Structure 1
Amino acid sequence: MSRKGLSKDWGVIEQIFREGEILTLSLSDGKGAYGVPLNYGYSDGKIYIHSSGRGRKYEALTQGTEVCFSIVSTFALKTHEKPCKWGSSFMSAVGFGQPRLIDDEKEKLNALSVIMDQYGEGKWDFDPAGVKIAAVFEIPVDRATARVRD
C-alpha cells in the first residue's frame, strides 16, 4: 500500500466490493458524462446491475463503451476543533469494465440473485414478468484500485 493508501491488492478490492451497499456508476453518452447511484451485486470478478429497458442509463450501457464505478464500504468522519483538521477514514474502490447485457433467462436469474445476495441471503423467488422486462448487465472488472485511509 502506498503512502496515500492506494492499493492494487485484489483481496482488499474484493473486500470492498463484497461489503459495499451502493455503487456509483459513471457513464458517458452523447449528452455528456454523468453518475448514478445503484444497488449492485458482486461475484467472481463481476459486477451485476439492473435497469429498465429504456432511458439514458440503458442507452449508455448498451453502446459498448467502458464504464467506471466506485464503491465505498466503510466511512467515518473525524472531527476536530480546527476546521482544517477534519478528515475521514474509509475504504473505497474504483473499477472499470465493459458492460454486457444479459439475454439468457437462466443467466439473468443468477445475476439478479447475486444482486439480492449483496444485501441478504435467501432463496429468491422472482416474478417472471419482472424478470422478463428487466435489463440486467454484467460488468467484468477489467481493472480496479482501492484506497484505505485510517
Structure 2
Amino acid sequence: MTQQKAPSQRTTVKRVPQRADYEHHTIYQILDEGLVCHVGFVADGQPFVIPTAYGRVEDTLYIHGSPASRMLRTLQQGIDVCVTVTLIDGLVLARSAFHHSMNYRSVVVFGKATLVENAEQKLTALKAFTDHVILGRWEKVRSPSRQELAGTIVLSLPLTEASAKIRTGSPLDDEADYQIPVWAGEIPLKLTAATPINDSRLDSSIQVPVNISNYTRPQTGVA
C-alpha cells in the first residue's frame, strides 16, 4: 500500500482539493523529475523567492551554495521556508478565455532548513545534487576537494510537511460553451535535450557518454 502523508494545516490543498495528492511516491516522483526549486523566505521584513538546484535523498531535500549566499545564510537561522517545484505537462485550451488552464504537477514543502555539518552527509548531499542533474555523473568526475567542501554550504529540509497538486485532462468548459465552433484541447509539453556540445578544450579522443547523448529527465508520468 502506498504511504500517504497526513496533511498539515499549511499543506492541505484548499483550492480544488480533489487535485491534491499527499502520497510519498507522488511527491518524490515530482521532485525527482524537476530540476529547479523556488525557495521562499523572509529576510529583514522583505520576502524573497530564489530559484536554485536541489537534490533529494529519501525523505530529505538538500540545497547548497556559497557561504556568501544571503538565502543560505538566512535559512541557517532556522526561519520558516517554503519550497516549490512545478512541472508543466501541457497547455489546456478551452472554448472560452476564462477556462484556459495548464496541466501541471507541483509540490509545496514547508519547514525549517538545517545546516549539514557532518562530512559524510555533506558528500552524500553533493552526490545527490550531481546525480539529480544527470544520473551516474558523480562516479565519472573528480570529487570535491577539502577546500571546495569548506567553501560550500549544504542545508537539509525534511519532507515531512509536503503536498502535491496535479491537474490532468481536457478543458472544463461551461456546458453552453461546448457548442462554440472553436478548437479546444491540450498541447502536451515536455522538456527535451538538444545535441550535446563538446567543451572547446575537450580531448578529441573522448566520446560523448551514452547517458549524455541520450539525456532525458526521469519520465515518471502523470498521476
Q: TM-score higher than 0.5 here?
A: yes
SS in 1 for 2:47: strand
**Aligned residue number for residue 140 of structure 1:** 158
**Aligned residue number for residue 78 of structure 1:** 92
Query: 1:113: Cα distance to partner?
Result: 0.5
What is the correspondence of 1:1-150 to structure 2 with a 5 Å cutoff? 4-80=18-94, 82-122=96-136, 123=139, 124-128=141-145, 129-150=147-168
Runs of at least 4 residues off by over 3 Å: 1-4
* TM-score under structure 1 length normalisation: 0.89
> Which residue identity lines up with residue 20 of structure 1 in the other structure?
G
Query: 1:43: Cα distance to partner?
Result: 1.6
SS in 1 for 2:67: coil
CA contact (8 A) 1:21 1:73 kept: no
SS in 2 for 1:21: coil
CA contact (8 A) 2:40 2:82 kept: yes
1:73 and 1:118 mapped to 2: Cα distance? Answer: 15
CA contact (8 A) 2:55 2:61 kept: yes
Task: Report Cα offsets for 1:43-96 as digits up to 9, x if no partner.
Answer: 211001112102421221111122110011343212345422311101101011
2:144 and 2:62 mapped to 1: Cα distance? Answer: 18
1:88 and 1:18 mapped to 2: Cα distance? Answer: 21
What is the CA RMSD across the aligned residues, in angstroms? 1.9
SS in 2 for 1:110: helix
CA contact (8 A) 1:78 1:87 kept: yes
Query: Whose RCO is larger (CA < 8 A, sep 6+)?
Result: 1
Task: Report Cα offsets for 1:94-138 as digits up to 9, x if no partner.
Answer: 011221111222221110101111111221423313222011111
> Which residue identity lines up with residue 134 of structure 2 in the other structure?
G
SS in 2 for 1:59: helix
CA contact (8 A) 1:42 1:114 kept: yes
2:121 and 2:88 mapped to 1: Cα distance? Answer: 31
What is the aligned length?
150
1:130 and 1:76 mapped to 2: Cα distance? Answer: 40
Query: Could you tell me the percent identity over the aligned residues?
Result: 23
Structure (1 or 2) with the greater strand fraction: 1
- Closer, same or farther in 2 for the Cα pair 1:74/1:107, shift >3 Å? same
* TM-score under structure 2 length normalisation: 0.62
